[in-house]
Amino acid sequence: MAARIEVRGLDLAFPLYHGHARSLKKRMIASVAGRMGANGRMGEDSRHRVVVQALRDVNFSLTSGERLGLVGGNGAGKTTLLRSLAGIYEPVAGQVRIEGTINALLDASLGMHPELTGRENIRLRGLMQGLGGAAIARLEEDVREFTELGDFLELPLRTYSYGMMVRLGFGMATAIRPQVLLMDEWLLAGDASFMEKALARIGDLVRSAEILVLSTHAVEIVRAWCTRLIWLDQGRVRADGGVGEVLDAYLGHKPPPAPG
Amino acid sequence: MNAITPPDPQPALPDPAVPAPGGRNPFGSGTVVLELAPSPLVRERMALALADLRGGWVFRRLAIAFAWVDIKLRYRGSVLGPFWLTLSTALMVAAMGAIYATLFHMTLRTYLPFLTLSLVLWNFLSTLVTEACTCFTVAESTIRATRLPLVVHALRVVLRNLLVLAHNVVVIVAVYIVFQIWPGRVALLVLPGLALWAVDALAVTMLLGALCARFRDIPPIVGSLMQMAFFVTPIIWKPELVGPARLWLLPFNPFYTLLEVVRGPLLGEAPSAAVWSSAVLASAALVLLGFWLFARTRARIAFWV
């Protein structure tokens, strides 16, 4: 079956129940606070709960072969959109339909535990992906080969250097080849010596996926990889089209924000 | 950043190294279509909640692995490992047994087996309930990073506590051997009791997990309720102590009847019909309430944790 993504009228709002103690809420409030008033992104819903409107009336569809880039400032809703495509956040209104196997690379340290050995971490990650015994063995082999960690895989992660940890996390995340690849920009951050090898591996992964959705600030990557671009601004689609035109509009609008 | 190679416009599909398993979404029901939309209909919500529960079976090996990891990490580097659980239970039972047997004027041979069973079972119950409250909130980063059936996080808590219980069973067996007690064939009645416990354990974990994700005040409330239940339930005191006139009141305490359907048979007494019906009624209420709440909140939990 050919992969396909269909998003219609997607609305997503975060309720703020737990006051100020939660870091996510703090971050969102901080990123939204500056713009409150003007666009009313933070407001009250019909039951007088404080909500942050993270996505508003997002519409697009992707077919096999399309590589979509998501650009926009911090807090524009890029990661939230990726999460709802991954089925983590279910829509408050509207509809998301994904046909095809999905791999979402959203969190570098997904399921990584410092006290477990590299190999145990790989196994847990495989189980999280719903892999069977044989596929987990292949995953381990693939990661061992790519990371060149050798016997370190038998040691707990806390004995690893930062670079080794990054290699393992990256190796595990990119070993599974889905039809629909959802990727957050953390994947593209790493030390220079590792980057070349990493980029080659991501290139492979991207080529083998039928649909790519990538959230990033890096203009070079967007130009090299994407065939289509959506510019998100405060939860809305501000522009949707070819890479050239949307990128020009986005970059002309304001200087590219600092990464991170 | 110049090393970026542009992907081919028309992707060839090479043999994947590790292919994502087909039918992973939603949770391996044999389809690769993930369709998400708000479901205002109760029937739809129930179907989605059931799909989540079935996903627990698909991901059972993950839940088991999580539970083992939790136990292993808790006792990492210690000599006795999880058998610290066994040792501390043994010490507690010995100390309490000596004191309360004197206070209640009972021989150790009649009191200690009762106390050991009660304490081990109650510890399971109260730890389970306490940890149930945080089953979704502690899994926050996993929940927000990948789509998994939520029931996996509840199963993790239930299985972890079953592993702890298994370590404590050693103490029960030891006490039985020391006092040469054999409950007889009536002990087989423990099996339906345990089946009831298994269902209840999952139901209470899902119920409290969802409730506590939304209302952060619930865990302390649950904590004090469990402490109260410990004293008003015949755990360290034998049920007969309330006196024959008030014995009929006991089955109204679901903690007592649920405890009794497992404890009774192991002490050689078949639970009465009143005890059984109270336990089954309480369980039915728990399961219905748990499922209803989970069906209602399933799609929102990722926003709450």
Q: ipTM of this model?
A: 0.81
Residues of B in contact with A17 (CB under 8 A): 214, 304
- Terminal Cα distance for chain A, rounded: 36
B37:A94 CB<8 A: yes
**Residue B108 lies inside a defined structural domain of this protein:** yes
pLDDT of residue A44: 59
Beta-carbon contacts of B96 under 8 Å, excluding residues fewer than 6 positions away, are B115, B119, B236
- At A110-143, the pLDDT tens digits run 778 888 999 999 999 999 888 888 899 999 999 9
**Could you identify the residue written with the tokens 């649950």?**
B222
Tokens linked to A93: 């209104």
What confidence category does residue A47 fall into, taking pLDDT thresholds of 50, 70 and 90?
low
Portion 237-266 of B in contact with A at CB < 8 A: none
* B32 in A contact zone (CB under 8 Å): yes
Residues of A in contact with B60 (CB under 8 A): none
Residue B4 or A89, more confident: A89
Residues of B in contact with A99 (CB under 8 A): 32-34
Residues of A in contact with B33 (CB under 8 A): 97-99
**Could you identify the residue written with the tokens 């066994």?**
B86
Residues of A in contact with B66 (CB under 8 A): 124
**Residues A103 and A182 sit within 8 Å (Cβ to Cβ):** yes
A120:B69 CB<8 A: yes
**Residue B78 lies inside a defined structural domain of this protein:** yes
User: How many angstroms away from the CA of B42 is the closest CA of chain A?
Assistant: 16
Beta-carbon contacts of A177 under 8 Å, excluding residues fewer than 6 positions away, are A103, A205, A208, A209, B16, B17, B18, B19, B20
What confidence category does residue A106 fall into, taking pLDDT thresholds of 50, 70 and 90?
confident
* A191 in B contact zone (CB under 8 Å): no
Portion 201-260 of A in contact with B at CB < 8 A: 203-204, 206-210, 212, 218, 220-221, 224-225, 227
What confidence category does residue A37 fall into, taking pLDDT thresholds of 50, 70 and 90?
very low
**Residue B11 lies inside a defined structural domain of this protein:** no
* B273 in A contact zone (CB under 8 Å): no
* A174 in B contact zone (CB under 8 Å): no
Domains (range + CATH), chain A: 4-101+213-253 (3.40.50.300), 118-177+185-212 (no CATH)
User: How many angstroms away from the CA of A161 is the closest CA of chain B?
Assistant: 21
Name the domain count of chain B. Answer: 1
Residues of A in contact with B44 (CB under 8 A): none
Residues of A in contact with B35 (CB under 8 A): 95-98
A207:B11 CB<8 A: yes
* A101 in B contact zone (CB under 8 Å): yes
- At B210-255, the pLDDT tens digits run 999 988 889 999 999 999 999 999 999 998 888 888 888 888 999 9
**Residues B262 and B197 sit within 8 Å (Cβ to Cβ):** yes
What confidence category does residue A188 fall into, taking pLDDT thresholds of 50, 70 and 90?
low
Cite the beta strand spans of B1-142 per DSSP E. 18-19, 33-36
pLDDT of residue A69: 93
Residue among B34, B144, B146 whose CB faces A128 most closely: B146
**Residue B304 lies inside a defined structural domain of this protein:** no
pLDDT of residue B13: 40
pLDDT at residue A191 tops 70: no
pLDDT of residue B229: 95
Beta-carbon contacts of B211 under 8 Å, excluding residues fewer than 6 positions away, are B133, B218, B293
pLDDT at residue A20 tops 50: no
Pick from A34-43, A190-199, B79-88, B215-224 the range whose average pLDDT is largest.
Answer: B215-224
Between CA B146 and CA B153, with CA B152 as vertex, the angle to 5 degrees is 85
* A47 in B contact zone (CB under 8 Å): no
Percent of chain A topping pLDDT 90: 35
Structural domain range at position B203: 48-294
pLDDT of residue B8: 47
DSSP conformation class of B4: P
As a whole number of angstroms, the distance between CA B7 and CA A67 comes to 10
CB atoms inside a 10 Å sphere around CB B170: 16
pLDDT of residue B19: 64
A225:B6 CB<8 A: yes
- The mean pLDDT of A3-20, rounded to a whole number, is 83
The helix (H) or strand (E) run that includes residue B232 is helix B218-232
What is the arrangement of strands in the sheet containing A50-63, beginning at the earlier edge strand? A42-44, A50-63, A4-15, A93-99, B33-36
| 3-class SS of residue A5 | strand
- Among positive and negative, which fits the CA dihedral A189, A190, A196, A201? negative
As a whole number of angstroms, the distance between CA B305 and CA B289 comes to 21
For A9, the closest chain B residue by CA position comes to B37
Nearest alpha-carbon partner for A225 in A174, A188, A171: A188
Residues of A in contact with B21 (CB under 8 A): 101, 129-132, 135
Optimal mutation site among A1, A58, A59, A101, interface B, most CBs of chain B within 10 A: A101
User: How many angstroms away from the CA of A6 is the closest CA of chain B?
Assistant: 9
Contact pairs from chain A to chain B, CB under 8 Å: 180
> What are the backbone dihedrals phi and psi of residue A104, each rounded to the nearest 5 degrees, phi first?
-110, 115
Low-confidence ranges of chain B (pLDDT < 70): 1-31
pLDDT of residue B42: 87
**Residue B29 lies inside a defined structural domain of this protein:** no
Whole-prediction pTM: 0.85
A124:B62 CB<8 A: yes
pLDDT, mean over chain A = 82
